[in-house]
Every structure is written in structure tokens, then in C-alpha cells.
Amino acid sequence: MNTENKITGSENILIGDIVNPATLPGAIFYAVLFSALALMASATVRKLVQRLVDLDRRPSADRTAIMFFSQFARVASFIVAAILYCHLIPTLRSFGTAILTTASVASIVLGLAAQNTLGNLIAGVSLILYQPIRLGEKVQVDAPTGQETAVVESITLGYTVLVGSHDQRIIIPNSVMAGSVIVNLGKSGST
């Protein structure tokens, strides 16, 4: 009878070590757990986006934006898992704080260095969300060659590509596109 209690007691100690993040078995257990959760979240996002793309039959859906946000969400799931793991393990808490501090400083430096690029990215997100223009619509814009009438070919996260009347491609940064007055003439085949 005492043998059974000793086995049960040692099993409780082992289980206690596994769920205690301050011990090596606990740290390993939580590393595996957070990794598995991040992989599951990443796979779920990938499958949902793939279904969304497969079900979307509208030609105006911007697949570039969908794929960008999908990849961003997948990477973010791993970053969140790593930060939560570092915060959970007592010996890594200061390391987790240092990572967050470094990431904050790096984001400020990168933000200042890539101000134009980030401006185009934010403007691209704005154009995709608010949709003042859509694929296939005819628009009038001011280009360096003068006022152009062109059809919207694609809207990416950095640039909007238009096709002019002489089949020339007009590539406009999204920050310029979002800040310009654009005359939307509707679908190109309707006029």
C-alpha cells in the first residue's frame, strides 16, 4: 500500500514539474505547447485564406493584399507565441522584455528610414479597404505627361498600375494615388 502511494506521489511530482514553467521539464512542455499552438494558428490562417481565395470569383479581389495579410498573420502568430513563452518562463522574462524593447526601437528606426515605403503601404491598405477605385474602372489622373485617362489594371500594396489609351502602363505610388483627385469614370466597357 505504501508503494502505491509512493508511485502516485512521484507521478504528482513529475506532473507538477511539467506544468511548472520554472522547471526545465515545464519550460520544455510550454515550448512544445506554444510551438504547436503557433503552428495550428498559422495553418488555420493559411487554410481560411485559401478557402477565401477559392470561393471569391470577383475579379476585383486583390489577391496580393490577401496573401500579404495572410503571411503577416502567420508570422504574427509565431511572434506572439514567442513573446508569451518568454514572458511565462521566469528565467526568460528579462529576455522577453529586452526583445520587446529592441523591437520597439527597431520599429522606430525602420519607420523613419522607410517613411515613403510605409506611406505607400498604408495608402495601399487604405485604397484596398475604402475602394475609391476598382480593377477595370476607367479613371482620369494627372500624370507627368498631362491628364491621362486610363483603366485600373492592378492595385498592389505599394503601387497602382493603370493602362493608358496607347497601352502604356502608368505606375503611381499609392501615397500619390490616395492624395490625388481622381475622376472615376466607371467600368471601362460601359462608356
pLDDT, one tens digit per residue, over 91-121 is: 887 776 777 788 888 888 888 888 888 888 8
Helix 2-19 / helix 24-55 crossing angle, nearest 10 deg: 60
More confident of the two residues 91 and 44: 44
Mean pLDDT of 133-156: 87
Report the predicted TM-score, pTM, of the whole model to 2 decimal places: 0.51
The beta strands (E) that lie in the chain are given as: 137-143, 146-155, 159-164, 169-173, 183-187
Closest of 106, 64, 101 to residue 86, by C-alpha: 101
Enumerate the CATH 2.30.30.520 domain ranges in the chain, comma separated: 134-187
What residues contact residue 178 under an 8 Å CB cut-off, 6+ apart?
123, 126, 127
- Is 137:185 a contact under the CB 8 Å cutoff? yes
Q: Where is pLDDT greater, at 68 or 124? A: 124
Instruction: Quote the pLDDT of residue 122.
Output: 87
Is residue 26 within 8 Å of residue 19, measured between CB atoms? yes
| pLDDT confidence band for 1 (50 / 70 / 90) | very low
Contact 92, 21 (CB under 8 A): no
Residue range 134-187 in CATH 2.30.30.520: yes
